[in-house]
Amino acid sequence: MNNYVTGAAIKALREERNLTQAELAERIGVSNKTVSKWETAKGLPDISLLQPLAQALGISVIELMNGEHITNRNISANMLRCKFYVCPVCGNIIHTLGDALISCCGITLPPLGADVPDDEHSISVQRVEDEYYITVHHPMTKAHFISFMAFVAADRMQLVKLYPEGNAETRLSLRGRGILYYYCNQHGLYCRNLP
């Protein structure tokens, strides 16, 4: 992993929960001097203590590694606030409705920022009865391809996984206005509003 828990994070999380060093030490079975060493950056917790430490602080190990507790503040659950994450190792596509701490294959994934399509990633959209027929003008080789397309409206999302050496095209149900997202494995996420 790129991140490891820091003394400053342990101290901040401990103080957030109104715990003394002695109380935290008792909960995980170490001395309060050990906790003091961690917080003053004179040592780091052994990897075997990460789970008990996270549990004592009331957070997940991933949140401990990141140094903050993640709270879902997306009260309205509007699909248009979605975020996409793609694992560069296995290609997993993860979709959230708000801020999240996502990791896959041992890597903490950042949310993807969507760009406006350039000439190399242009698309054509045709209405065919009650569907959009979407084609991305892009090569589909093993090394360079469109990984997925997703249509996101206020109350639903349709995601279609695409594969190398296939066609960069799909049909999506026509259900109101929304945003079309598509992901190039080399250049990132693109989006376009659909009427």
Q: Which residue has the higher pLDDT, 13 or 77?
A: 13
- For the chain, the first-to-last Cα distance in angstroms comes to 42
Tokens representing residue 67 in the block = 């140094």
* The pTM of the whole model exceeds 0.75: no
Tell me, what's the pLDDT at 82?
A: 84
Tell me, what's the pLDDT at 144?
A: 93
Model confidence at 99: pLDDT above 70:
yes
The pLDDT-based confidence of 3 (bands split at 50, 70, 90) is: very low
- Helix (H) or strand (E) holding 191, with range, is strand 188-194
Model confidence at 111: pLDDT above 80:
yes
The pLDDT-based confidence of 86 (bands split at 50, 70, 90) is: very high
Model confidence at 1: pLDDT above 50:
no
Per-residue pLDDT tens over the stretch 126-159? 988 888 899 998 989 999 999 999 998 877 889 9
d(CA 107, CA 101): 11
CA 86, 60, 48, 66 torsion: positive or negative? positive
Tell me, what's the pLDDT at 142?
A: 92
d(CA 122, CA 114): 14
Model confidence at 173: pLDDT above 60:
yes
Tell me, what's the pLDDT at 94?
A: 92
Q: What is the DSSP string of 59-101?
A: S-HHHHHHTS-------S--GGG-EEEE-TTT--EEEESS---
φ, ψ at 89 (rounded to 5°): -90, -55
Model confidence at 72: pLDDT above 90:
no
User: Is 50 within 8 Å of 64 (Cβ atoms)?
Assistant: yes
Q: What is the chain's mean pLDDT, rounded?
A: 84
d(CA 28, CA 59): 14
Q: Say which range, 16-25, 28-37, 38-47, has the weakest mean pLDDT.
A: 38-47
For the chain, give the percent of residues with pLDDT over 90: 32
Give the other-Cβ count within 10 Å of 190's Cβ.
23
User: Is 55 within 8 Å of 17 (Cβ atoms)?
Assistant: no
Q: Which residue has the higher pLDDT, 75 or 91?
A: 91
